[in-house]
């Protein structure tokens, strides 16, 4: 019987379709088009060059929308800021590309 250790890696391709949106509560997200399945929340969203862009949040299907939904990702800078707030800032660093 297969175990979770035997699970295959599944990668979905897509693109960032909106780099910055804000929810009605003031939370920052970005929208992307790669298919996300239940259980993917909290997983990394990785660019083609290996940079972690953020983490999977949830589907963004809006009232009256039909067809394929977009998905919300929590930006990496938000994750790092949260870690710093918990005193765990040494767990992740943002790359300075300047």
Distance CA 5, CA 3 (A): 5
pLDDT at site 66: 67
The domains of the chain, with CATH numbers, are: 12-91 (2.40.10.10)
Q: How many helices (H) and strands (E) does the chain have?
A: 1, 5
Distance CA 61, CA 70 (A): 7
What confidence tens digit (pLDDT) does each residue in 10-40 have?
A: 788 999 999 999 988 998 999 999 988 888 8
pLDDT at site 31: 93
pLDDT at site 50: 87
What confidence tens digit (pLDDT) does each residue in 56-88 have?
A: 998 887 677 666 778 999 999 999 999 999 999
Residue 5 has pLDDT above 70, yes or no: no
């Amino acid at each position: 019987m297969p175990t979770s250790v035997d699970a295959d890696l599944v990668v979905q391709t897509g693109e960032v379709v909106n780099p910055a949106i804000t929810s009605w509560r003031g939370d920052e997200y970005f929208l992307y088009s790669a298919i996300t399945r239940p259980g993917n929340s909290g997983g990394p969203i990785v660019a083609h060059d290996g940079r972690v862009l953020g983490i999977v949040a949830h589907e963004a299907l809006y009232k009256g929308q039909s067809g394929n939904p977009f998905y919300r990702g929590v930006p990496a800078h938000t994750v790092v800021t949260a870690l710093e707030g918990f005193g765990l800032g040494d767990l992740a660093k943002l790359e300075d590309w300047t």
